[in-house]
Amino acid sequence: MRVLEGKLVDEKVNGKGIKVAIVAARFNEFIVSKLISGAEDGLLRHNVSEEDIDLAWVPGAFEIPVACKKLAGTGRYDVVIALGAVIRGATSHYDYVCAEVSKGVANVSLEAGIPVMFGVLTTDTIEQAIERAGTKAGNKGYECAEGAIEMVNLFRNVG
């Protein structure tokens, strides 16, 4: 049986030459900025060139899918990373936003044929968001960067 996988880093495979677009929601920017820093750190540590990383800001999480679609459709990028933070409030708005953003990002990836990494935090509390943006639970932006490299390398191996 032949096994197809995308490796993160080895002597032949790393992030060199990978073109990355990051879409980041400005809402809850104090959290999202930490996700961006984590993603950038992860990409640079794995040999993605700073010149190969573009950052696009959108007003909020709901706008992330359409921006991902536009960027993925240009053909300039190997992968798109979606970053945002949706924190539950007192109304049902949270449920609608989370559902639409996650479906939208998944649809973009399927339609565009390139990986779109989902780094949108959906948390009940601000404390949970802070934990996932670089304290106790790691940094979701960094995790998305590693996943992005792995997925691009998988796609390249498949051909």
pLDDT of residue 12: 52
- Residue 107: the pLDDT is 98
Is 85 part of a structural domain of the chain? Answer: yes
Residue 18 inside a domain? The answer is no
Half-sphere exposure (CA, 13 Å, Cβ side) for 53?
22
Number of H helices, E strands in the chain: 5, 4
Residue 23 falls inside a structural domain: no
The answer as to whether 140 is a domain residue is yes
DSSP assignment of 103-145 equals HHHHHHHHHHSS-EEEEEEEESSHHHHHHHBTSTT-BHHHHHH
| Percent of residues, the chain, with pLDDT higher than 90 | 83
Q: Is the pLDDT of residue 13 over 60?
A: no
Give me the pLDDT at residue 6, please: 72
Domain assignment of residue 117, yes or no: yes
Query: Is a pLDDT exceeding 80 seen at residue 29?
Result: yes
| Residue 1 included in any domain | no
50 is in an annotated binding site: no
> C-alpha angle 66/68/69, rounded to 5°?
65
The residue written with tokens 């949706």 in the block is 86
**Residue span of the structural domain in which 74 resides:** 45-126+135-152
Does the annotation place 63 within a ligand binding site? yes
Residue range 16-34: mean pLDDT, rounded: 98
Residues 28-32, mean pLDDT to the nearest whole number: 97
Looking at the domain assignment, is residue 66 inside a domain?
A: yes
Please indicate if the annotation marks 90 as binding a ligand.
yes
In a domain, 2, yes or no: no
State the DSSP string of 47-81.
T--GGGEEEEEESSGGGHHHHHHHHHTTS--SEEE
30 known ligand binder: no
* CATH code of residue 110: 3.40.50.960
Q: Give the pLDDT confidence score for residue 109 in this predicted structure.
A: 97
Residue type at 24 in one-letter notation: A
- Residue of 22, 26, 18 lying closest to 67 (CA atoms): 22
User: Is 46 noted as a catalytic residue in this protein?
Assistant: no
Select which of 7, 93, 103, 156 is catalytic. Answer: 93
What is the pTM (predicted TM-score) of this model?
A: 0.93
Number of domains in the chain: 1
